[in-house]
Amino acid sequence: MTTLLEFEFDNVKRGNTRRAAQIVGVVGSGQLEVLIEPAELDGKCEIVVETSAQGFDEIWRSVLDDFAAQYPVADLRISINDGGATPAVVNLRLQQAIAEVLDV
């Protein structure tokens, strides 16, 4: 069984994203896959998490809050396919993914 979590961030900074969508990571136990793509979202950043681990909603919220604060990028859709990764792995993959679409 998987849980679907949706998050939305109002970001101030306009995106200077590359156009192409990027995938980072692979799904597996303790791992995750991040699909990051530019999208017309009226200046928002949308993150959808599909996870096999139950009961970690609050931790996801904290991790993604910190990520959105660090990278306030508009018009971005991030889809996460999670196999029970720890916050450390989530952070690492998100940072690797954002580096693929931004020049950071």
Partner 1 sequence: MNDMSWGTLADDKAARLDEAARNGLGKIVAADQAETLLVSVLRPNDRICIEGNNQKHADFISEVLSDVDPEVIHDLHVVQSNLALPQHLDLFEHGVAKRLDFCYAGPQGIRMAQLIEDGVIEIGAIHTYLELYARYFVDLTPRVSVVAVEAADREGNLYTGPNTEDTPPIVEATAFKSGIVIAQANRIVDRVPRVDVPADWTDFVVEAPRPHYIEPIFTRDPAAITEIQILMAMMVIRGIYEPYGIQRLNHGIGFGTAAIELILPTYARDLGLLGKICNYMSVNPCPTLIPALESGFITSIHSAGSELGMEDYVAARSDVFFCGPDGSLRSNRAFCQLAGHFSDLFIGSTLQIDTAGNSSTATSDRITGFGGAPNFGCDSRARRHASDPFLQAAREETGQESPQRGRKLVVQLVETFREGGQPVFTERLDAWDIQKRFGMDLPPIMIHGDDVTHIVTEEGIANLLLCRGPDEREQAIRAVAGYTEVGRRRDPKRVADLRRRGAVRYPSDIGIDTRLASRSLLAARSVRDLVRWSGGLYDPPARFRNW
DSSP E strand stretches across 2-91: 3-10, 22-24, 32-38, 44-51, 76-82
3-class DSSP state for residue 48?
strand
| Pick 9 or 60: Cβ nearer partner 1 | 60
CB of 50 to partner 1, least distance (A): 17
Contacts of 64 (CB under 8 A, 6+ apart): 7, 9, 47, 49
| Pick 74 or 90: Cβ nearer partner 1 | 90
Alpha helix (H) residue ranges in 22-86: 57-70
CB of 36 to partner 1, least distance (A): 14
CB of 43 to partner 1, least distance (A): 26
Residue pair 76/46 in contact (Cβ under 8 Å)? The answer is: yes
Query: Which residues contact partner 1 by CB under 8 A?
Result: 30, 53, 56, 59, 62-63, 84, 86-89, 91-92, 95-96, 99
| Pick 47 or 63: Cβ nearer partner 1 | 63
| Pick 39 or 89: Cβ nearer partner 1 | 89
